[in-house]
Amino acid sequence: MQHDQYVYRLRRERSAGKKLIRLISFIFVVFISLFFLFFAFLGKFTNSPLISPLANPLIFSSIPFRDTFGRGNQLNTIINNILKNKAGDYSVVVINLKTNENYSFNEHKLFETASLYKLWIMSVVFEQIEEGRLKKTDVLTEKIEVLNEKFKIATESAELTEGEITLPVGEALRRMITISDNYSALLLTEKIRLSSVTSYLNLEGLNESKIGTVGGSPTTSAYDTALFLEKLYKDNKNLNENTIEMLALLKNQQLNSKLPKYLPQNSIVAHKTGELGEYSHDAGIVYTSRGDYIIVVLTKTKKILEANEIIAQVSKAAYDYFQRK
């Protein structure tokens, strides 16, 4: 009798244990279901046009950065052949702003900016003008010796070693962009401060770019440079007055031996060049009746003349391709 009671009690305990396990399993399944339903519900609100997405909408969120032309495509083949077996380092980004087609090669490789850093200076100056901290009529003045010392420019490499530079902000901007005048850039940089440029790069998501410390070299990538140009282009579409002025400066570029070299004579190219030592770059927006596109070519090689010719050839290849479409 005692044995039977023991067996009965054991069976009841086992049955209760199984029920408890089933209950725990049920609660777990309900919890998981509610968890996923909650985040699905939350997702509907994070996609709301009233809430800004985490990524800046002007970043390449709509333009996946890969070769979308395809391996057999003519532009892909031509650009690869142009770059094939060339001595030195090359980085290329081409983005059709109408169709989102794009080509990239070594787009995240870092290069010294040479004069491309002047694009950032221009943007920060216009930003401070918009904020009322600067006016285009403000006159800036500084001794050449002070600028050389402040920006650690050695006497043997300095373009100027004495005298004084005095320019209104607007004229300094024009010279800095259209003829790449270095002392206009230094004068503006002294005024706006390097820390403001660093803040600008961080705010705009130009994460592969650095202005450098005093005495250090600014660096960037073709990716970041194309991103800068895309932001500029889209701001212009919104009729931003400062952006319109910045693009006007770039369209008046006087150094046209690279990207525009083999394009039709009346082509409109808003671009900025850069040359320093082994570095030669050109980056801009080409405006055409069939659609506008961004093109960035950064190079580092001891064969500078060859690099300049390659930049011109890549530019011609992109132009011809888009005109045939």
CATH assignment at residue 86:
3.40.710.10
Of the segments 6-20, 99-113, 201-215, which one has the largest average pLDDT value? 99-113
Q: Is the domain of 312 the same as that of 172?
A: no
Q: Is the pLDDT of residue 221 over 70?
A: yes
The answer to whether residue 251 sits within a structural domain is yes
Which pLDDT score is estimated for 171? 99
Domains contained in the chain, number: 3
Domain span at residue 190 reads 116-207
Higher local confidence (pLDDT), 267 or 1: 267
Does the pLDDT at position 45 exceed 70? Answer: no
Q: Rounded to whole angstroms, how far apart are CA atoms 16 and 181?
A: 86
Question: Are residue 120 and residue 268 in the same domain, yes or no?
Answer: no
pLDDT at 23: 58
Identify whether 213 is part of a domain: no
Q: Report, as an integer, the average pLDDT of 266-280.
A: 98
pLDDT over 90, % of the chain: 69
Spell out a b/e string for 219-254, using b for 16 or more CB atoms within 10 Å of the CB, else e. Answer: bbbbbbbbbbbbbbbebbeeebebbebbbebbbebe
Cβ atoms of 262 and 313 within 8 Å: the answer is yes
Run of H or E including 153? none
